[in-house]
Chain A
Amino acid sequence: MQDYKTEHPFDITLSEEQQMTWDMLKKFAETEMRPNARATEAAGRPEPELLEKMKGLDLISLAIPEAYGGMEIAQDATSQALALEALAYGDLSLAMSLSLPMLTAKIITEHGSEEQKEALLKQYSAGSIFHVGLGLNNSNVMGDPLHSGILINESEDDLILNGTMTGVAFAGEATSFLISATSDSGESNLYVLDKDTEGLEIVSKEFMGLKGLPLSELQLANCKIKTSQKLGGHNYSINFQELLDSSRIGMSAMALGVCQAVLDYVVPYTNERVAFDEPISNRQSVAFMVADMAIETEALRLMVYKAAALKDLGADFHKQASLTYKFAAHHGMKIGTDGVQLLGGHGFTHEHPVELWYRNLRAIGIFEGGAGV
């Protein structure tokens, strides 16, 4: 009935190392990220000082090989999911300022050709984190996530790219982009595109959430690139489904962090808020919403753990990643909306973070490739 094999017993205990990292990142999220969430949103990007502190966590260089200046400490998927959850507990936009370069560096490390690694990875250890913009989000409504909104045509030694990618973070700082594109045969791959490519236009966009990240749309009109600009080289073929599944576990882990933030916020609020002479949490209509929030958050945590554990085991994790992402999108949105509801009119204003979480949680289930494990 199961399609995996393991001798190890059922377990949900964090290893000592995971616990230490978790404690450190959670504290950072609470003391450095959360208090700056509003300011980051207002500025549309992380303040430079905060960004330096975030870089100081050294999360990006973990996956990068020593040869390219990294630490080469490849983390397992469960550890990465824990790290993403802890960061998102602080603020989703800020967390994604790290998770996006983390994912980008990881993809280049795992799939890039020697030449591409040489050209793109070394800059990470030099302190640059936004030099490669990652574009995996389609802009069409009826899209299939496996099919890129950018179509590719081969013309002798060149590839011609046409179409639109959206939700590309920090495009203004990027010197190149790593974007998905689909060929006539329906195969999707990633391509490295220089910022100055003729026919590429970068248009800044505003979205309802993730406002602490500068997001843009890339419009490609007859952009000509060389076949060697395919990630991994001309003959390389990426498992696009697996890439998507990994990123969906990552996004679900971040949803978990935000859901936990909502829960931890509404518990003291409903306990302290008095109406009709007693705390509103003394009433079942309020208390049961909180109970359900706790139940679904815990369930999401176990879903994320299981999907990541399957990946670590080397088993097929497509179904589990799909279910987890669907669960995260559905219950994340429910928890977001209940968070606002529990605070009533107060929740609708900027005086409390629940409306921010409401907007950010709506990104889960929509935003592909914002984080990965």
Chain B
Amino acid sequence: MIHPLLPDQLQKTQETMRMAAEFILRPISRKYDKAEHEPPVEMEQLNQAAAAQAAEKDSGMGDDSIKSMDLKGRNLWAVISLEQMCWGDVGLFLARPGTGLGNAAIMAVGNPDQKTKWGKRWASMAITEPAAGSDSKNIATTAVLDGDEWIINGEKIYVTDGDRCDCVVVWATLNKAMGKTAIRSFLVEKGTPGFSVARLEKKLGIRASDTATLIFDNCRIPRENLLGGKEEVEMDADAAKKSFGGAMQTFDNTRPMVAGMAIGLGQAALDMTRALLAEEGYEDNFGASMGQQTAIQYELEMLDAELEAARLLVYKSAWMMDNKMPNSKEASMGKAKAGRIGNKISLKCVEICSMQGFSEDHLLEKFSRDSKILDIFEGTQQIQQLIVARQVLNKSSAELK
């Protein structure tokens, strides 16, 4: 049945999450935007509220599954939930104690033992290096098996939650000369000798969330901390491709989530803009002709249309995951559209609200700074376009670089 609509139960989830965003996140938004690098202790309230609701077996925000990223086929539910949280504040959402992108990786590629052991820990994800961003096959951090331990050496940058997490999923190569086929991910616990946090970035936006540089200097971890994949590099081309594909599969799962963040932020900017405009007598005029609309009515309707389009793409990609359909193309479509539209909307809203938009009296300027990262991390706009283009045009990565 063609029914791209949310059932009442999910609408209830939306409302619960929106309330949490409005009453827990919004009041401390500005505080932690200013106080960069200070852990937002109030976020514990959110976890406590969640735990209390979980005890009542409520299917709203109380559900623990979003915290552990163990979604059990409820990706659409998760996207809708975090969309509302990010309506409140993306930076704070990312700084919520307990959940990181590493958790998604553990759930996507970990074996049952690993999921049990680490699934509910706070795991961040360390991929990017000073000389390897989007081309993760160029990773230079090494992992060498020595007896029953792996020795990790290298530097990781831009690790979200890298300072505050319990453990990190680190991408490293078994043999740099072998390219992407030799890349594996490893779980490194905080406090492991040889693992240190070197610095925290000062950033354009999402300042509530910490972004760390991590150093691994002869860091020894147990052999069983290899997440999925084989201990040796596959020589068979197909097996090797499959191995890297497994690691990349994490992104098919996380892209709808990050795209959902951009949708929530875009909606927040539009809502706040309309609230400011309403004070000066503004009313919408949907469906009217160009001659009948003011420039602001026209702009806002177009932005609404773009946001709704992005939202439906993202919901579809999550729905496909829930129904076990391969969604690599759709996940990238949603991320590409949501990333650019979230950014466009938030910047346009600052323009529409003029000096009030530009002012720190309101959060519009913050939204416009926060939004930029959503079109960069979890794959930039251009990486998403590349993934979509390769699939639509049926091209290999060697043909379409």
Contact = CB atoms under 8 A, between A and B. Distances in A.
Interface of A: 1-2, 4-15, 18, 78, 82, 141-145, 241, 244-245, 248, 263, 267, 270-271, 279, 281-282, 284, 287-288, 290-292, 294-296, 298-300, 302-303, 305-306, 308-310, 313, 318-327, 330
10 contacts: A1-B18, A2-B5, A263-B392, A282-B395, A284-B385, A287-B400, A310-B5, A313-B5, A322-B301, A324-B305
Contact of B3 (A8, A245, A319, A321): A8
A302 B393 contact: no
Contacts of A279: 399
B399 A282 contact: yes
A1 B5 contact: no
A267 B8 CA distance: 40
Contacts of A298: 313, 316, 330, 333
A298 B310 CA distance: 10
Contact of A290 (B305, B333, B393): B393
A7 B11 CA distance: 10
B4 A12 contact: yes
Interface in B1-37: 1-8, 10-11, 14-15, 18
Interface residues of B, number: 50
B5 A292 contact: no
A8 B319 CA distance: 14
Contact of B7 (A7, A271, A303, A306): A7
Contact of A308 (B2, B288, B313, B389): B2
Interface of B: 1-8, 10-11, 14-15, 18, 76, 286-289, 291-292, 301-302, 304-306, 308-310, 312-313, 315-316, 319, 330, 333, 336-337, 382, 385-386, 388-390, 392-395, 399-401
B5 A288 contact: no
Contact of A326 (B302, B312, B395): B302
Given A144-B292, A299-B309, A318-B286, A290 B389 contact: yes
Given A290-B389, A302-B312, A326-B302, A10 B291 contact: no
Contacts of B382: 284, 288
A209 B313 CA distance: 31
A5 to B, nearest CB: 6
A301 B365 CA distance: 33
- Choose among B5, B291, B385, B392 the residue with the greatest number of A CB atoms under 10 Å from its CB: B5
B7 A295 contact: no
Contacts, number: 178
Contacts of B289: 142-145
- Top 4 nearest A-B pairs (CB, nearest first) are A322-B287, A302-B312, A299-B309, A287-B389
Given A288-B385, A295-B388, A306 B5 contact: yes
Contact residues of A: prevailing secondary structure: helix
A14 B1 CA distance: 5
A145 B309 CA distance: 24
A266 to B, nearest CB: 10
Given A263-B392, A303-B308, 17 more contacts: A1-B15, A6-B3, A6-B6, A8-B3, A9-B7, A10-B319, A18-B2, A144-B289, A144-B292, A245-B287, A281-B389, A287-B393, A294-B392, A296-B337, A302-B313, A306-B308, A320-B308
Contacts of A292: 336, 385
Given A271-B393, A281-B400, A292-B385, A299 B337 contact: yes
A178 to B, nearest CB: 22
B4 A302 contact: yes
Given A298-B313, A299-B309, A299-B337, A5 B8 contact: yes
A2 B315 CA distance: 15
A295 B15 contact: no
Contact of A1 (B14, B306, B336, B401): B14
Contacts of B292: 144
A287 B4 contact: no
Contacts of A323: 286, 301, 304-305, 308
- Choose among A9, A143, A291, A318 the residue with the greatest number of B CB atoms under 10 Å from its CB: A291
